[in-house]
Chains A and B, each alone.
Chain A
Amino acid sequence: MKRKKPFDFIFFLLTWLSIGVTVAVFTLVVGYVLINGVPYISPSLFALESTALNPSLFPALMGTLMIVGLSLILAVPLGIFSAIYLVEYARRGSRFVKIVRLTTETLAGIPSIVYGLFGFIFFGVFLGWGLSLMSGAFTVSIMILPLIMRATEESLRAVPDTYREGSFGLGAGRLRTVVRIVLPAATPGILAGIILAIGRIIGETAAIIFTLGNVARMPNNLFDSGRTLSAHMYTLANEGTHPGEAHATAAVLLLVVILINALSSWIARFVKAS
């Protein structure tokens, strides 16, 4: 006979219930998007031009990829180097570090519409970049900077000090220690932060409409306007003339996110192996 303590059983039931609800919610959302969206995915949805009659998502897909690429180019090096400074160079627990951390944490908590407004006024109006890839990418990169910094900081801190001691003990300088020992050990965590950042960029709508704009064509150059998938979806759903295509766009958005995640974990594994 198995005897169970009542609290054990209640606790088990609670965890089981939680995971059940979580899985159900995810399945519901993903299922809803796929069931409503997939039937509307057709070759015409990927036409080069988006028109009122055929709201192709191709220009928006390109716009999304461009924004992701550009803002990563801007934010990733800045975020990683800042984090390296905070963890490896700055005096530990110094006031400066605390202030920087408070600032980045505050930045991370600001609603995206505020970034959008700032980006529109500063990059768009003050610097005269207008609604453009540049305005959009700069704004979004400020948004993801705290995310990348935080992830990098945490993964650097997770690298045991004994590694650093071992390296210094052999007469290696700080630069060599950071580049050869600490960074490789922290890479998986940093990549996880970048994946999170990509997710945030792809999902961003408000700040993007304010800065990149929302015209249904591919940007021709850095100072040209365009739209992203999420903005495209928002517009289609808002206009109400192509609800099916709006769902199809959501499905594609979902696929893009899954694809990027798969790609990143593949890169992470590749980096770890080499």
Chain B
Amino acid sequence: MEKVSKFSLKDVNLWYSDFQALKNINMEIPANFITAFIGPSGCGKSTLIKSLNRMNDLIEGCRITGDILLDNESIHGNIDVNMLRKRVGMVFQKPNPFPMSVFDNVAYGPRTHGIKSKFRLNEIVEKSLCDAAIWDEVKDRLKKSALSLSGGQQQRLCIARALSVQPDVLLMDEPTSALDPISTAKIEELVIKLKDSYTIVIVTHNMQQATRISDRTGFFLLGELVEYGKTERIFSVPKDKRCEDYITGRFG
């Protein structure tokens, strides 16, 4: 079955000043799939995921050529970058809840996009927290500071916050690297559940994680997309020697 592409990347090159971080990336990221980016540190996988919602715009000296299409529309063309980031949500490596209450954290996004009705906000907050599988744990402490939650809870809160603006895509940049195994398991379970409604792109250092949750895997090395395909295939019969060496643990 051929999937519809959510993102199409065409000849993407990216430089941080003089350093080329991405080299000629061409790939299709299918809708409602979990796509994992793997590779050793500094291989460009985080850079690429940040290009998908233009978070790299915030970095000085970052230059990009080629094109990235979201639903067949260039994200570099005549597009409001804030609306792009609303459609393409992001969860970061370290949980980064704002220093405000649990409720206000989740309500921040909808409020940003003009929703003022208390009733609507309550609805959205509850739904987002339910979808992020954390509602039961925080429903009695919505007014408490988000910083009082545990690391795993904070990360699920951040997922809820990302879901609150009803994105199409969820980008996750090593979302479990700062968490314990139990919290990691909860987040993985959650990510698989979210696949039905969202396209998910996840950067991970953890290859078991990629095999457990992803449908497609891309292996990056030194800014190049070395191999990309179905996850089972990549991990069972990798075509490229470098990819094989990496997943069998010979380096990285």
Considering the complex, give the chain A residue whose CB is closest to the CB of B96.
A162
Across the interface, which residues of A come within 8 angstroms of B97, CB to CB? 166
Question: Of A167-175, A194-202, A211-219, which binds chain B?
Answer: A167-175
Is A160 in contact with chain B by the CB < 8 A criterion?
yes
Q: Please name all residues of chain B whose beta carbon is closer than 8 Å to the beta carbon of A176 when the two chains form the complex.
A: 112
Interface size on B, residues (CB 8 A): 27
Nearest residue (CB) in A for B111 is: A180
Q: For the complex, would chain A's binding face be called helix, strand, loop or mixed by DSSP majority?
A: helix
- Cβ of A105 under 8 Å from chain B: no
CB of A169 within 8 A of CB of B113, answer no
- Residues A163 and B162 in contact in the complex (CB < 8 Å), given A170-B86, A170-B112, A172-B112: no
Residue of A nearest to B93 (CB): A162
Our pick among A91, A162, A184 for the contact of B60 (Cβ within 8 Å) is A91
- Of all chain B residues, the one with the shortest Cβ separation from A165 is B92
How distant is the Cα of A172 from the Cα of B85 in the complex, in angstroms?
8
Q: A92-B60, A162-B92, A176-B112 are in contact. Are A168 and B98 (CB under 8 A)?
A: no
Asked if B109 is at the interface of the complex by the 8 Å CB criterion, the answer is yes
List A residues 138-177 near B (Cβ within 8 Å): 160, 162-173, 176
Q: Beyond A162-B96, A166-B96, is A180–B108 a contact (Cβ under 8 Å)?
A: yes
For B108, what are the chain A residues with a Cβ–Cβ distance below 8 Å? Answer: 167, 170, 172, 180
* Cβ-neighbour of B85 out of A160, A171, A180, A185 (below 8 A): A171
Complex CA–CA separation, A165 to B92 (angstroms): 9
Closest CB in chain B relative to A228 CB, distance in Å: 39
A residues apposed to B, CB below 8 Å: 91-93, 160, 162-173, 176, 180-181, 184-185
Q: List 29 A-B contacts (CB under 8 A).
A: A91-B60, A92-B60, A162-B94, A163-B96, A163-B98, A163-B99, A164-B58, A165-B55, A165-B96, A166-B92, A166-B96, A168-B55, A169-B53, A169-B55, A169-B85, A169-B89, A169-B162, A170-B85, A170-B108, A170-B161, A170-B162, A170-B165, A171-B82, A171-B86, A171-B113, A172-B109, A176-B112, A184-B99, A184-B100
